[in-house]
Structure 1
Amino acid sequence: MKTETPFELTILGSSSALPTSDRYPTAQVLRVPGRFFLIDCGEGTQIQIRRQKISFSKINHIFISHLHGDHFYGLIGLLSTLNLLGLKKDIHIYSPSELKTLIQPQLDHLKADLQFKVIFHPLNFKKPQKIYSDKKVEVFSFPLKHSSPVCGFLFKEIPKQRNIKKEFIKQYNIPVAEIKNIKTGADFKTTDGKVIPNAELTTLPPRPRSYAFCTDTVFLPEITEIIQNVDLLYHEATFTESMKDWAKKTLHSTAKEAAEIARLAKAGKLIIGHFSARYKTVSEFKKEAKSVFENTETATDGNTYKVEQH
């Protein structure tokens, strides 16, 4: 039986501006086949990476949504740790362009001993943009709306080719040169002119999985066009509806608004987080969100959320 390749999100931090005794500021690790992506890097991120037994050596792509401290103050400490561990792979940081200016003096301080390059990739705050791709996954940024320029991120598996049924290769004596075409959807014509439909020769691969990260933002329905049918959606929910006016003033979202985004996007599952430290529990957040979008969970530091293959 073929082993399923993992596609899973680990929450490292789910608090908003202030850390609490059981919640760190925003940070997440998304694991897709063979890759680990760090999304935001609040204080305490490297402590949480250790607690969750995530290999530091696996992380060399870091996505910083915006330049509020609770989303990047852990970055320089993490880079220092990666250096002390002797890692040599280049580190790619996708962030507002100003981040380089902010941390370059600290990097210069480490420069004599820095064993890897730090490569900055500036985000586009005007329109969606593909910012990373390889053979297995592609990543898009898209603008959100907050008191500081901010982007969300969409991670999508690259669709796999169709699976050819091995018994037909021998039965129809299919040449190796034709197999590639068949995997991409072509029919096969035998030497006597008979056409074998692709649907008979192959089976569908697993459906590509996806994850969207929507951090600090006002309620912004237009993003649902970008994240439509996403399997797993994280959306900030700093406040409940009882503080909707304050959410609007601070350019944040409520739990109900996050759920409405999930409903409009036809998401598979919603995780809400970035909770204001003024709340002692998050039960009201969950109740409020589930009244709009049933498949909702409240983020918990250390929890991992899997997206299954279908």
Structure 2
Amino acid sequence: MRKKWLLATLGLAAVVGGVAYTQRDPIAMALITRAADTAMTRNVMADLPADQLHVGFCGTGSPLPSRDRAAACTVVIAGGRLFVFDMGEGSGETLSLMGMPLDKVQGVWLTHLHSDHFEGLGPFTLQRWAGASAKTPLTVSGPEGVTEITQGLNAAYRIDSTYRIAHHGESVVSPSGFGMAGTAIQPGTVYDANNVRITAFAVDHDPIKPAFGYRVAFKGKSVTITGDTAFTPKLAAAAKGTDLLVSEMLSPRIVDILARSAQKAGMTNRAKIFKDIENYHISPEEAADVAKSAGVGMLAFTHIVPSVPKALQFVLLGKAADRYDGPIAVMQDGDVISISGPHEFKTRNLLK
């Protein structure tokens, strides 16, 4: 009896499998249609409470190649609006994959003018222009020199823009919305509207001058973003009492391994670069000192130098946990930290 039942089951499975195989095209198209409908109607903002401050990580990498991390980009969501800090290579695509509505972007603020912090601006600006039917250029604020960069990128993409206008029509891609408009800023308040205040402060990233960090405050909650910086006591002053400190991070002991390996391989130039970058980036232990001194609620690391497999990420932190007893996290692309109150954090990933 058992053998007959098994044979009947196998026969039914074969029939079902055969039908599925012969109908694989319509089944696949049905699955694709469902996925497209879901993607087009996805509303991430509905899942992010408007009275909370949210910090998204659209690029947690560095100039060193990584399959898992786009270059530098952090987005702050406050009151249903998006404020983007840095726009490295691939980060605009990550921002879109996270489901962030590009029409809610209020602007991009650059921490400094290293290329890994702005080279994603061109593709992102095109996405915003066409995908969000922008009617005005993207506002890009940053240190002196930002206007030269935005004008150069506008020139580089100008020919492409004429093709898109000719193909889709001005009602879809308005000529007035093409490109970006650069604005040079100084330390101090650089945005103050809709209950959101953004303050820029100088950081030590010599010889890159000026270089900024930013503090964003919204309805009693705040996040401080260091940008690229060496350790300086001024960081703690800028981050004093902030809920979340988003710090870059370089692991000296792992970078030393890379330098030695490059030297052994005869790559003397690369070995020197690995040694040079240590003096203008902050270590995890130094960032932990800043977090403790500033009394922050949580320390989140981004701009990871170097990237390592996720299973080995604990080695990046060194002895940071011995220097700061609050929560510490190495962020991944797609992560969002929601701040609902003092020491009240929720982390989710929008790419999973």
TM-score w.r.t. the length of structure 1 is: 0.76
Deviations 1:267-297 (A, max 9, x none): 0100012222364432112352212113111
Query: What residue is the counterpart of 1:102 in the other structure?
Result: 149
Once the two structures are superposed, residues 230-287 of structure 1 have per-residue CA deviations (whole angstroms, 9 ceiling, x without a partner) of 0011111122456589477541111101111111111010001222236443211235
* Deviation >6 Å, runs of 4+: none
What letter is aligned with 1:13? G
State the Cα distance separating 1:210 from its structure 2 match: 0.2
Q: Secondary structure at the match of 1:107?
A: helix
Identity of aligned residues (%): 21
Q: Give deviations 1:209-247, integer Å, cap 9, x for gaps.
A: 000000211111122112200001111112245658947
One-letter identity of the residue aligned with 2:305:
S
Secondary structure of the 2:139 match is strand
Q: 1:88 aligns to what?
A: 135
For the pair 1:302 / 2:334, whether they are aligned, the reply is yes
Q: Deviations over 1:79-104 (max 9, x none)?
A: 12222232114522111231221231
SS at match of 1:5: coil
| Structure 1 residue 120 corresponds to structure 2 residue 182 | yes
Alignment of 1:156-171 (within 5 A): 156-158=217-219
Q: Which moved more, 1:148-157 or 1:104-113?
A: 104-113
The 5 Å alignment of 1:149-160 reads 149=209, 150-158=211-219
Q: Find the residue that maps to 2:250 and give its secondary structure.
A: coil
Closer/same/farther in 2, CA of residues 4 and 66 from structure 1, 3 Å limit? closer
**TM-score w.r.t. length of structure 2:** 0.67
Which segment drifts farther, 141-150 or 108-117? 108-117
Residue 223 of structure 1 pairs with residue 235 of structure 2: yes
- The residue identity in structure 2 corresponding to 1:95 is G
The residue number in structure 2 matching 1:172 is none
Matched, 1:138 2:202: no
Deviations 1:15-36 (A, max 9, x none): 1212301111111111011211
Aligned counterpart, 2:169? none
Pick one of 33, 45, 52 that aligns with 1:6: 52
CA contact (8 A) 1:132 1:139 kept: yes
Separation of aligned partners in 2, 1:105 and 1:132: 25
Matches within 5 A, 1:1-310: 5-85=51-131, 86-108=133-155, 109-110=157-158, 114-116=175-177, 118-124=180-186, 128-146=187-205, 147-149=207-209, 150-158=211-219, 208-240=220-252, 246=275, 249-277=278-306, 279-280=308-309, 281-294=312-325, 295-309=327-341
Partner SS for 2:341? coil
Partner SS state of residue 308, structure 1:
strand
Superimposed CA distance per residue, residues 128-180 of structure 1 (whole angstroms, 9 cap, x where no aligned partner): 3111101311100001111312100000125xxxxxxxxxxxxxxxxxxxxxx
Paired letter, 1:119: A
On the 8 A contact 1:92/1:121 being kept in 2, the answer is yes
With 287-296 and 109-118 compared, the bigger mean Cα shift is at 109-118
| Shift in CA distance, 210/247, structure 1 to aligned 2, threshold 3 Å | farther
Question: Is the contact made by 1:240 and 1:256 (CA closer than 8 Å) also made in structure 2?
Answer: no
Larger Rg: 2
State whether residues 130 and 141 of structure 1, in contact with CA within 8 Å, keep that contact through their aligned partners in structure 2: yes
In structure 1, list runs of 5 or more residues that go unmatched: 159-207
C-alpha distance in 2 between matches for 1:41 and 1:262: 25
In the superposition, relative to structure 1, how do residues 75 and 288 fare at CA in structure 2: closer, same or farther (>3 Å)?
A: same
Q: Is the 8 A contact 2:144 2:184 kept in 1?
A: yes
Which of the two has greater helix per residue?
Answer: 2
Quickly say closer, same or farther: Cα 1:27–1:19, change in 2 above 3 A.
farther
Q: Secondary structure at the match of 1:20?
A: coil
